[in-house]
Structure 1
Amino acid sequence: MAMDNMQTFSLSRHSRLFSVPDNNRDYLFVASGDQPYHEEPYRAESYAIAYIKEGGVKLNVGLSVYDVDAPAIITLGPSVIRYFSKRSELLKMDVIFFKESFLMERHADLFFLFKYNFFENSDLIVLPLKESYFDKINKIYELLELSQVSDGFHHDELVRTYIFALVYEIDGYYRQHLTDATNHAKTNPLFVKFRQLLRQNYMKERKLEFYASKLYLSPKSLSAAIKKQSGRSAGKWIDDAVMLEAKVLLQNRSLTVLQISAMLNFSEQSVFGKFFRANSGMSPIEYRKKIDGIDV
């Protein structure tokens, strides 16, 4: 699916959301302050590394939900559907948003960011920080904040250096401290394979039989196994994935409901409408009316 058809938050949109000046660059730094909460799913045009210093948020990433408490790092790639809601009255969070083109401008390895799956893998997106890394991460964000005070010499290069430092520190942390977490998925191979299949096929396949056949199981056996592992049946995982994409697409006002229905491989718009209502309690048009007040 073309990125143009996805509802994405630009850096300018993020600057408005966080009430900070738009620097007209390919990156944006947001320091701790009164943080907003955007409760409709969206994608972004940029990567993001958020540092939760105090308090916490409830973060929805794809079909996973996390209660994130400080101190922690959240890493998000552009393709990840996310939304978040308030978890505590107190929240101090610094965020660096950056486009891949900004980070890679002077870097020889154009595939650098693809080496680090913690931007896309929902099992690795939230990183609770141990004390030994807390001070190091804190200092990098202090340097990022100081770099915003004035445009000195080598300004962009310094910001890039700090982002590279964050990526290396996060990767080093996983390698050193969280081998159990990163290997956790290996203990649940069926669930992992199912989620991989779902990510690859949910836009065109909604039938449980398709996924069951790919995993050499009966639909009943697959559904029971996935529910035992996750508390949610395989069919519900499929419906939730389609609904999440539908909500993102419906926020793109240039797409008609008929076009979205076709993109999600529904035979008719009416079938899509019934599916959407069954899973949300409202029609696609009613959902659009609901979010009309949200500036996206």
Structure 2
Amino acid sequence: MNNVKTFSLSRHSRLFAVPDSNKEYLFVRSGERPYYEEPYRAESYAIVYIKEGAVKMNAGLTSYNINAPAIITLGASVIRYFTKNSDLLKMDVIFFKDSFLLEGYADHFFLGRQEFFENNDLHVLPLKEADVNKFNKLYDLIQLTQITTTYHQAAIVRSYIFTLIYEVDDLHRQHSSEIVSPKKNQLLFANFRKLLSANYKQERKLDFYADHLHLTPKSLSAAIKKQSGKSAGKWIDETIILEAKVLLQNKKLTVSQIADMLNFSDQSVFGKFFRAGTGISPMAYRKKFD
């Protein structure tokens, strides 16, 4: 993650125009969303409560049209961006670093077990009316704690974040128990995406993924296209391009270094690949951020 430009808590505070009073967590209550439409990662986790209106979010290559009431959960490593989907959007957000939440906590793997922070199929949780009152009260308590300076302020906020995580996990468990077992193609698609997420920086060839999933490249590509509307090769290319866009925003990295990080033989090959997928060169994309 050291080579990847991330949104800091300070940058989030500037984006939302709220005071940056703490370096470990940030609470935002917003009636307006300053949409950032380029892919990015953050240094912090986020639990977002969409109270009214709607927003469009892309997490990885998954696109969501999110209508209130809903909860969004995002881990620090998730590439995301947001675009406008409604003139009305009211939301509460708690951003927090893992080091803050787990300070003094014996189980350092706690966040890693909460799949909804990293799994692109689980980032959005629609809320039923029965759940809305509970989340309203939890976020109200966080805001009250945020604006009241007390000796135990950080510990109290930390306890509310744990409560939010347990509430979200409980709702996901209830939801999963209501879902019929996924079909064969759905399982294959899920396994392909998991394999892709772990290997895309080193492996761009379809053969690699087909071999690991015990299929021919043709069979894999056909099955993935039937399930998602895009071929397996398209998924691979778009995943690499998304990562490249994030890396190109970090101007401490040269284009040659980025090509090497993504396992291209040289900068020229990377440039041709990027242009084929986006219509512009890596340098032209980078200049957008000057």
TM-score (norm 1): 0.95
Alignment of 1:237-252 (within 5 A): 237-252=235-250
Between the aligned partners of 2:211 and 2:246, the Cα distance in structure 1 is 29
Structure 1 pair 187–146 and aligned structure 2 pair: CA distance change class (3 A): farther
Kept after mapping to 2: 8 A contact 1:174/1:182: no
**Which secondary structure does the structure 2 equivalent of 1:148 belong to?**
helix
Equivalent residue of 1:291, what SS? Answer: coil
Partner of 1:189: 187
* Count of residue correspondences: 290
1:10 to 8, 11, 14: 8
Unaligned runs of 5+ in 2: none
Map of 1:90 onto structure 2:
88
Q: Following TM superposition, where does structure 1 have runs of at least 4 consecutive aligned residues deviating by more than 4 angstroms?
A: 181-187
In the alignment, the residues of structure 2 paired with residue 245 and residue 268 of structure 1 have an alpha-carbon distance, to the nearest angstrom, of 17
Question: How large is the Cα RMSD of the aligned pairs?
Answer: 1.4
Q: 2:121 aligns with which of 120, 123, 127?
A: 123
Per-residue CA deviations over 1:161-209 (Å, capped at 9, x if unaligned) read 1101100111111122342459548771211111111011100111111
Show the counterpart of 1:208.
Answer: 206
**In 1, Cα distance between equivalents of 2:234 and 2:210:** 14
- Inter-partner Cα distance in structure 2 for 1:181 and 1:32: 33
- How far apart, CA to CA, are the structure 2 residues paired with 1:24 and 1:142? 18
Shift of 1:150: 2.0
Structure 1 segments unaligned to the other structure (5+ residues)? none
Match of 1:49 in 2: 47
Counterpart of 1:268 in structure 2 is 266
Q: Quick one: distance in 1 between partners of 2:32 and 2:186? A: 39
Alpha-carbon distance between aligned partners in 2 of 1:176 and 1:278, rounded to the nearest angstrom: 44
Task: Give the stretch that moved more between structures: 246-255 or 202-211.
Answer: 202-211
Give the 3-state SS of the residue equivalent to 1:5 in structure 2: coil
Instruction: State how far apart, in whole Å, the 2-side matches of 1:49 and 1:119 are.
Output: 9
1:19 Cα deviation from its structure 2 partner: 0.9
Matched, 1:103 2:112: no
Task: Give the whole-Å Cα distance in 1 for the aligned partners of 2:178 and 2:229.
Answer: 22
2:134, 2:176 → 1: CA distance?
17
Q: Distance in 2 between matches of 1:287 and 1:280?
A: 9
Q: Is the 8 A contact 1:243 1:279 kept in 2?
A: yes
- Greater shift, 228-237 or 186-195, is seen at 186-195
Does residue 136 of structure 1 match 2:151?
no
User: Residue 105 of structure 2: SS of its match in structure 1?
Assistant: coil
Query: Contact conserved, 1:31 with 1:95, CA < 8 A, in 2?
Result: yes
Contact 1:37 1:86 in 2 (8 A): yes
Identify if the C-alpha distance between structure 1 residues 216 and 255 changes in structure 2 by more than 3 Å, giving closer, same or farther: same
Separation (CA, whole Å) in 1 of partners of 2:212 and 2:180: 25
Identity %: 65
Q: Quick check: 1:70 aligned with 2:68?
A: yes
Q: TM-score, normalised by structure 2?
A: 0.97
Of 163, 167, 170 in structure 2, the residue corresponding to residue 169 of structure 1 is 167
SS of equivalent residue, structure 2 residue 103:
coil
Distance 1:126 1:195, change over 3 A: same
| Matched residue, 1:36 | 34
SS of alignment partner, residue 48 of structure 1? strand
Provide Cα deviations, 1:94-128, integer angstroms capped at 9, x if missing partner: 10000011111132222211221110011111000
